[in-house]
Copies of this chain bind each other. A is one copy, B any other.
């Protein structure tokens, strides 16, 4: 009476979905002049506003050294600038340029279109059930991953 095979199928499909979404993103990025790692920086700034490099390192789960390299590249390509921090002369505030903000807005729009393509066929009930289930799964996984980081 085990649902084990069905749970395996659910995980397999989830893993394939992650693979497909990543490939979809990788295909779109070169045309924008971005890479997978750099777009994470742009997206985080789009959602949270100007950030210190230290904050970016924490959010992206990479070392400060790595952030230095990513921000260097994004400055060179015109997506962000380094602004002085108003209260801490050690820190810099990484800030989106107009171009960077425009690209981020385009990404958000593309994401909305993708959401419609993927979930547009679902009835309201079915969609709500899916979101509810997914929310439970993510809530169960989050502490597992975060605790392993300690």
* A131 and B6 within 8 A (CB): yes
* B121 and A126 within 8 A (CB): no
A32 at interface, CB cutoff 8 A = no
A55 at interface, CB cutoff 8 A = no
> Could you say which interface size class chain A belongs to?
35 or more
* A116 and B4 within 8 A (CB): yes
A7 at interface, CB cutoff 8 A = yes
A140 to B124, CA, bound (A): 18
A64 at interface, CB cutoff 8 A = no
| Interface 1/0 per residue, A116-150 and B, CB below 8 Å | 11111110101111110111111011101100110
Near B by CB (< 8 A), chain A positions 86-131 give 111-112, 114-122, 124, 126-131
Smallest distance from the beta carbon of A9 to chain B beta carbons, Å? 5
A10 at interface, CB cutoff 8 A = yes
Nearest-neighbor residue (CB-CB) of A2 within chain B: B116
Q: A-side interface residues toward B, CB under 8 Å?
A: 3-4, 6-11, 13-18, 20-24, 27, 61, 111-112, 114-122, 124, 126-131, 133-138, 140-142, 144-145, 148-149
Q: A27-B145, A130-B133 are in contact. List 8 more A-B contacts (CB 8 A).
A: A10-B115, A10-B118, A11-B114, A13-B134, A15-B21, A16-B138, A20-B138, A126-B129
